[in-house]
Amino acid sequence: MRLLVVGANGLLGSNVVRAGQQRDWDVCGTYHSTQPDFAIPLVQFDLQAYNEFETIIEEVDPDVVINCAAMTDVDGCDTDPETARMVNSSAPGALAAQCATREIQFVHVSTDYVFDGTTRDLYSETADPNPVQVYGESKLAGEQAVREEDTAALVVRLSFVWGIHRIRSELTGFPAWVRGQLQAGEEVTLFTDQWLTPTRAGQAADVLLDLIDHDASGLFHVACASCVTPYEFGEMIAEVGGYDAELLDAGSMNDADRDATRPAYSCLDVSCVDATLDQSQPTLREDVDVVRDVFESTYIW
């Protein structure tokens, strides 16, 4: 299998490269600003110049393309909506069209932020999206463009992505920040009024490749099986790492001064991917245990 990973230098992209290598797939990648230190063929590519992708796929001749690249800065999307729409909406649609023409399988990654968070029921793939910030709007438009251009495309929504960045070999995302605060003995304020299903990047990468192996197409939610608050995630980190849980302070989303609104609830229902792959998505605790060492206070990088 020849796999082309768009955005090989990102958290998810680096894990997809690694997962492909572990399966002995023939992996190639694109990067945006920084060339990753992977021993695979790499080419620089800016999603804003999406017409140049045609030359890349002619040269690489992949069986499957996974688009892990996006403008992921939620507040940055609100302040620069034009770039957000170009990178998160127009570009994925153009890539999907170019892959469809050549009968290359196209896989696109989206977000739980397509939902408004007004329910307290898990969001299934059939739930109506209603994004409340430019990031979510641009990602939803990207999903729609991909599915219009390529009816066989696979679109996967993730939630609150964290994990080990496979180029820098370091914990990345929310838990890295929490661990850093706790390690330094500093108080950390975490929301008790936001609910998510944190997705470990390494787990999502494996599930993406499993779905490709199953010839899956259409829309899937991929996340852990636990709907938690950031505060509860922080409690787990403190417990696993052996840190003082007294340093955790309960906070509210309403007190955060940010450009973009976030949904208060964006937990994803993963029963569809469970049924398709005939395996359950891990609980958050199981995901944390997979990389348990990096949370421990005695861990040396």
Active-site positions read 135
Q: How far is the CB of 14 from ligand NAP (least distance, A)?
A: 8
The CA distance from 284 to 269, in Å, is 14
In the DSSP assignment, the letter for residue 278 is T
Q: How far is the CB of 112 from ligand NAP (least distance, A)?
A: 6
77 binds ligand NAP (CB under 6 A): no
In the bound state with ligand NAP, the residue whose beta carbon lies nearer, of 48 and 183, is 48
Q: How many CB atoms lie within 10 A of CB 274?
A: 13
Q: How far is the CB of 242 from ligand NAP (least distance, A)?
A: 26
The CA distance from 144 to 264, in Å, is 24
Residue whose CB is nearest to ligand NAP in the complex, by number: 10
Structure tokens at 166: 């496979």
Among 5, 42, 71, 146, binds ligand NAP (CB under 6 A): 71
Beta strands in 237-286 (DSSP E): 248-251
Q: Strands of 105-111's sheet, edge to edge?
A: 42-44, 26-31, 2-6, 64-67, 105-111, 154-158, 218-221
Among 70, 84, 178, 225, binds ligand NAP (CB under 6 A): 70
Site string for ligand NAP, 99-138 (x = CB under 6 A): ----------x-xx--------------------------
Q: How far is the CB of 204 from ligand NAP (least distance, A)?
A: 8
The three-state secondary structure class of 44 is strand
228 binds ligand NAP (CB under 6 A): no
**The residue count for the chain:** 301
Helix ranges (H only) for 23-90 are 53-60, 74-79, 81-85
Footprint (CB under 6 A) of ligand NAP, residues 37-56? 45-48
* Residues in touch with ligand NAP (CB under 6 A): 7, 9-13, 32-34, 45-48, 68-72, 87, 109, 111-112, 139, 158-161
